[in-house]
Amino acid sequence: MADHAPGNTNSGTDTQKYSLEQVVTTALALQLPVAVWRFPSASGANACISFNSAIHIEQPELENSPFGFFFCPFVVGEQPTLFIKADIVHSSETGLLTFSDDVTQTQKQEFIVALQRSQSIKQNWHLHASETINQQTEAGFKDAVAEAITTINNGYMEKVVLSRTATHPLPAGFNLIAIYSLMLKNYPNGFVSLVSVPEAGTWLGASPEILVSVDTDNVFRTVALAGTQPATQGEPVGNAIWRQKEIEEQGMVERYILSCFKKLRLREYTEVGPRTIVAGNLMHLRTDFSVDLTEVDFPTLGSDMLELLHPTSAVCGLPKEPALHFIKAHEGYNRSYYSGYLGPVNSPDGTHLYVNLRCMQLLKDQAILYAGAGITGESDAEKEWQETQYKMQTMGKILSNF
């Protein structure tokens, strides 16, 4: 974290310790945007809060951004791409708050005073500006899959990802931080997030998929993640048997990443995989790509790849344009921030953006669950429906076990 100017009493670290629940409850009570995240296999979560409304941006420039958190929709422009500037940062491990240099003494004092009475504040969360729920029925989803298979076999596209939603009532005594803590426990290998922004609403997720990452050693990373089957408790991942359909689907995502490297004339990269990984109750095929930016002179690779990759073939299809057109015509609802991306940028741990998968959106009394499946010419509508059922269990079980 950046050093603070000598004598600046508005910034720096507050030595009083606070819980994550106190900090998030206070931010929401003050109508401030907040993002919470925990990296895969990490021991603690971090939160950032902005004293202003989340900033609407066109196309993120990762390299020049201040420390903060990006939250981007599936279709750029249909909902705003949001940036939550890290005016306040909280670590669940230390319990400490750090204020940026931009924070005024008045803002700091108002937040601290609100924190002192956080236990008496009724917990709430930001709601989307519109609570209209458009759902894809089972029959509608299967019809769209059948139409996609015909379109693919007619040569108009290679693959398309179709998704759907389902609603789940919020359990009695629902508590935002308690359910986030349950997600942390149940998905130790996921990027576990909580984002709550005025008008954009509140989202919880446990994503297995890196979109773009540039770590503190200046190493760029992205992954090709595709293919899905249920994970069997206690069964070694080495015993997984993959159908030709999943192998081809994962290969398409790999080739798309390589085509992006080719567009940028990048030849110096490392590729590892594909290998089987476990994410919650599911297994996937994953290939890791990395570029050492200390050896390759490409300072804007993060931003350039982000623009080329999103939305990836793993959540949209190939080629991107006809797949996206098919989704808009046949999916039957607006994905909003599902299958967009989110994550911290220029944090003390670097920049790490993940695809917003295995997620749910909170309404006042219920949650919207999201899931999708990759459709190829070898797909079967019933099996694709079952795949979305498996994926929804990630968040569904969290709500049921609360």
CA atoms lying within 13 Å on the CB side of residue 335? 30
pLDDT at 218 (0 to 100): 97
Name every residue whose Cβ is closer than 8 Å to that of residue 41 and which is 6 or more positions away in sequence.
Answer: 188, 189
pLDDT at 4 (0 to 100): 36
Full pLDDT tens readout for the chain, 402 residues? 333 333 334 567 778 999 999 999 999 999 999 999 999 989 999 999 999 988 999 889 999 999 999 999 999 888 999 999 999 999 999 999 999 999 999 999 999 999 988 877 888 999 987 766 677 789 999 999 999 999 999 999 999 999 999 999 999 889 999 999 999 999 999 999 999 999 899 999 999 999 999 999 999 999 999 888 888 777 787 888 898 988 988 998 999 999 999 999 999 999 999 999 888 778 899 999 999 999 999 999 999 999 999 999 889 999 999 999 999 999 988 999 999 999 999 999 999 999 999 999 999 999 999 999 999 999 999 999 999 999 998 899 899 888
Bridge-partner residues for 361, per DSSP?
203, 368
* C-alpha pair distances (Å), 7 with each of 3, 10, 90, 310, 396: 12, 9, 22, 43, 50
User: 169 preceded by cis ω (within 30°)?
Assistant: no
Name every residue whose Cβ is closer than 8 Å to that of residue 255 and which is 6 or more positions away in sequence.
Answer: none
pLDDT at 11 (0 to 100): 64
pLDDT at 303 (0 to 100): 97
Q: What whole-number distance in Å separates Cα of residue 230 and Cα of residue 244?
A: 16
Q: What whole-number distance in Å separates Cα of residue 81 and Cα of residue 217?
A: 27
pLDDT at 10 (0 to 100): 53
pLDDT at 298 (0 to 100): 96
Q: What whole-number distance in Å separates Cα of residue 233 and Cα of residue 276?
A: 15
Name every residue whose Cβ is closer than 8 Å to that of residue 135 and which is 6 or more positions away in sequence.
Answer: 164, 165, 166, 167, 332, 333
Burial class (CB in 10 A: 0-12, 13-18, 19+), 267: exposed
pLDDT at 264 (0 to 100): 97
Q: Would strands 68-72 and 270-279 be described as parallel, antiparallel, or unpaired?
A: unpaired
Bridge-partner residues for 82, per DSSP?
56, 71
Q: What whole-number distance in Å separates Cα of residue 246 and Cα of residue 265?
A: 29
Closest CA to 282 of 227, 230, 242: 230
Amino acid sitting at position 208: P
